[in-house]
Amino acid sequence: MDPALLRERELFKKRALSTPAVEKRAATSDSHKKKKPKLEKEGSSASKHSSESSNGKINIKASSGYKFGCLAKIVNYMKTRHQNGDTHFLTLDEILDETKLLDISMKQKQWLMTEALVNNPKIDVRDATYGFKPKYNLKDKKALLRLLDKHDQLGLGGVLLDDVEEGLPNSAKAIKALGDQIIFITRPDKKKILFYNDKHCQFVVDEEFQKLWRSVPIDSMDEEKIEDYLKKQGISSMQETGPKKVLPVQKRKKQSGQRKRQFKTHNNHLAGVLEDYSDGVPAKK
């Protein structure tokens, strides 16, 4: 064989060994790239499905929360305008316009008309118009003074300042104008109560009468006995307006010892006839 051809053959083998082949690796990387989008698509579809299901729950909660939020905003607005002296009634469209709730749906508007506002204890409905309904509907300071005098005469106690501020327009000015005709009492829960200051009851008591009054012992008399005595005498006591105390529940004591079980005894009529064989058969005599 020609030596020149042999040399070319050897050079070709060296070149072939020195150059690496990467065809198979490239093919595997391409297949991996092709499979990856499928996994991404599957993950995106699953996340989309879960997000749709979760969005359904969120939308239900958000819609109910939005409805009651609109109702609270309307009630607070009606209360504020009543306190400012605007006591005339409004239609629902006027209320939505003034509260800037024009973006609510027809379903929510129907809910306000048929259920929410009609059944709300703080809203008064008259011929498809709505107004605020306070506990005490007071027009001026004279009405407040008559209310406190009535409570004083009937022994009903005082009236909460919160209820007065809720029902009396411009209540701060009216209370300030009445001056010493009203007495303020602060309860233990820091809520203020208004009482009528009856000036006819302000008189000087003789010292001898005061001594007799203070000499009567009432240590053995509790509030219930005093109230029963007043009822028998035809005198009505003033009802308590403060917060009621909750008595702690007493736990039952566990029985320390177990009860001894009692067994019935039988054959009592054969007490002298029967013999005891628990130690064995007795020997014959």
- Tens of pLDDT, residues 209-219: 989 988 887 77
Q: What is the dihedral of CA 93, 96, 101, 104, to 10 degrees?
A: -40
Is 163 a residue whose pLDDT tops 60? yes
Averaged pLDDT, 252-273? 62
Q: Quick one: pLDDT band at residue 283, thresholds 50, 70, 90?
A: low
Q: Which of 62-66, 140-144, 192-196 comes out lowest in average pLDDT?
A: 62-66
**What is the torsion angle, in degrees rounded to the nearest 10, for the CA atoms of residue 223, residue 226, residue 232 and residue 236?**
-70
Query: What confidence category does residue 225 fall into, taking pLDDT thresholds of 50, 70 and 90?
Result: confident
Q: Is the Cα dihedral 40, 41, 44, 50 positive or negative? A: negative
With CA atoms as reference, report the closest residue to 129 among 139, 143, 137, 118: 118
pLDDT of residue 39: 46
Q: What pLDDT, on a 0 to 100 scale, did the predictor assign at position 13? A: 78
Average pLDDT, rounded, for the chain: 76
> Is the whole model's pTM more than 0.75, yes or no?
no
Least confident of 12-16, 131-135, 184-188: 12-16
Q: What's the pLDDT tens digit per position in 69-95?
A: 888 999 999 988 888 888 889 999 999
- In this prediction, residue 258 carries a pLDDT of 60
